[in-house]
Homo-oligomer: A and B are copies of this chain.
Amino acid sequence: MNLSTSMDGQLNHHLLPATPETVHWGFFSRSLKPVLSVASGDFVTIETLTHHAYDDHARMIQGDTGAESVFRWTKDEKAVDRRGAGPLDASIHGRGAGEGFGVHICTGPIFVRDAEPGDVLEVRILDVRPRPCRNPAFSGRAFGSNAAAWWGFHYNDLLTEPKPREVITIYEIDAAQSQNWARAVYNYRWVPQTDPFGVTHRVIDYPGVPVDHALVEKKHGILNGVRIPIRPHFGVMALAPKEAEFVDSVPPGYFGGNVDNWRIGKGAVMYYPIAVPGALFSVGDPHASQGDSELCGTAIECSLTGTFQLALHKQHHLAGTPLAGLDYPLLETSDEWVVHGFSFANYLAELGNNAQTEIFVRSSLDAAMRDAFRKMRHFLMATKGLTEDEAISLMSVAVDFGVTQVVDANWGVHAILKKAIFAGDTR
C-alpha cells in the first residue's frame, strides 16, 4: 500500500494511518513488505497506537475506527494475528500468535528509496499530537495507560501486599494540549483475563488482551493534585535490523527500536545507521510522558500522531560529518547531542544464536555505562576533532550520563552533550 501523493521531483507529504494493513505488532523484520515508499526529503504524517489501549477500551478504543480496526479480536476474528517475534502456532507458551515476544504496535515499515546499508537515515520529528478520544463521553481528552508490570524494576521488590502484583493506572491529558500536564484518573490491579480465543492471561504476557472492566476493581481519587509534565514522544522508532528474520520489538539496539528516551519528541532529530535496503523505518510505542529509567516497565502509553521528515545521508558523503562511523542511534535536539549506550551495543550479533532470549538475562547498567562512554568518546573525537585526552576530560567535567531505561531487556544509559559548550569554537 502506498499512500503517497508524490509528484516526481517534488517533496511530498504522505499520510500513513494506523490500520491492520499498515501496522506490524511486536517485531521488526527485514522481510516485511513496505507500506509506503518515500524519497529522501519527503514528509510523512504517521498515526501510532499504543498497545495498551485495551486497558481502557471506552477511553482509548471505542469510537475510534482506526484503533477499533487494529484491536478487533473476537472468537472468530483477530485483525492482527501475529503479536511478537515468536512462533505463529503458539506452541511454546500458548499465549497466542507471535507469543507476545515483542509487544509494540508499529506503523510501517516505510521504504526509503535509494537507501542502502552503510547509509544513515535522519528522522526529523516536526510535530507530535495526542490522538483524541472518539468516545463522546470523553470529548476533548486523550488517555494513556501506565502498567506497573512483571518486567518492571520494582516487581520483585514490593513493600506492601499483595506481592507481587501488576497495576494499571489510567492517565488523562488535554487533547488540545492547552494544558501541559497529565493527571491520573484511576488505577486497578490486573486480574486474570481470558482472551477471545480462550487463553487466560494471569499476568500481562500478551499485548492487546481485552480487559474486562467487570472483573477489575477501580480505585479513583489517586495521585490527587499531582500534575505529570507531558513529554510526548515515541518509545519506538526503528530501522529493520539485518541480523535476524524476526526481531522482538522490546530490546533496543544499534537500529534504534525501543530506545524509550523521552527526549525523542517534537523538534528532535534522530540518526540511524541503515542495515537493509530501503532502511525500513517504523514508529510505535507512543508515550505522553516517561521518566528516565521507565522504572515500572511502561510510560504513559498513549496513542499519538507524528509528522516526520526523512532525509537520507549516503555513506560516501559521511566523512567529516557528525555521522561518520555512526553505528548507534544518535539524538540531536536544539540544545543537545545525545548518544545511546546499551548493555550490548548490538545484542543480535554479540549474543549468538540465542541472542533474543539471552538479552533478557544478561543486561546491566554497568555495561550500558561502558557503551555510552565509548560512544560519546567516539562522537567527540570523530565529530569535534578532539584527542582522546581532550574527550575524556570534557566528558568528566561537562557531559551528563543518565539512566534511559532498566526495563527493556537491553538496558540503556544515555550521555548528554550540550551544544553551547562549542559556542566559542570558531574553527
* Known interface pairs A228-B398, A393-B169, A406-B369; A222-B148 also in contact (CB < 8 Å): no
Q: What per-residue 1/0 map shows which CB atoms of A392-407 lie under 8 Å from chain B?
A: 1111111111110010
Residues of chain B contacted by A225 (CB below 8 angstroms) = 422, 424-427
Residues of chain B contacted by A397 (CB below 8 angstroms) = 146, 171, 182, 228, 289-291, 299-300
- Expressed in whole angstroms, the minimum distance between the Cβ of A198 and any Cβ of chain B is 30
Which residues A279-316 have CB closer than 8 A to chain B? Answer: 289-300
> For residue A403, which residue of chain B has the nearest CB?
B401
B291 touches A400 (CB 8 A): yes
- A158 at the binding interface (Cβ < 8 Å): yes
B388 touches A160 (CB 8 A): yes
- A229 at the binding interface (Cβ < 8 Å): yes
Residues of chain B contacted by A146 (CB below 8 angstroms) = 393, 396-397
Q: How far is the CA of A290 from the CA of B226 in the complex (A)?
A: 32
- A361 at the binding interface (Cβ < 8 Å): no
> For residue A417, which residue of chain B has the nearest CB?
B291
A400 touches B364 (CB 8 A): no
Residues of chain B contacted by A222 (CB below 8 angstroms) = 387, 389-390
Q: Chain A interface mostly helix, strand, loop or mixed?
A: mixed
> For residue A288, which residue of chain B has the nearest CB?
B397
- Interface segment among A26-34, A77-85, A87-95, A149-157: the answer is A149-157
The 8 Å CB contact of A389, one of B169, B365, B370, B373, is B169
B295 touches A227 (CB 8 A): no
- Expressed in whole angstroms, the minimum distance between the Cβ of A170 and any Cβ of chain B is 10
* Known interface pairs A398-B289, A398-B291, A399-B291; A224-B427 also in contact (CB < 8 Å): yes
- A223 at the binding interface (Cβ < 8 Å): yes
- A21 at the binding interface (Cβ < 8 Å): no
The 8 Å CB contact of A425, one of B182, B187, B224, B291, is B224
Residues of chain B contacted by A292 (CB below 8 angstroms) = 399-402
A399 touches B295 (CB 8 A): yes
- A103 at the binding interface (Cβ < 8 Å): no
- A191 at the binding interface (Cβ < 8 Å): no
Apart from A227-B420, A297-B396, A401-B402: 8 A-B pairs, beta carbons within 8 A? A148-B396, A154-B377, A223-B386, A224-B425, A228-B394, A290-B396, A296-B393, A296-B395
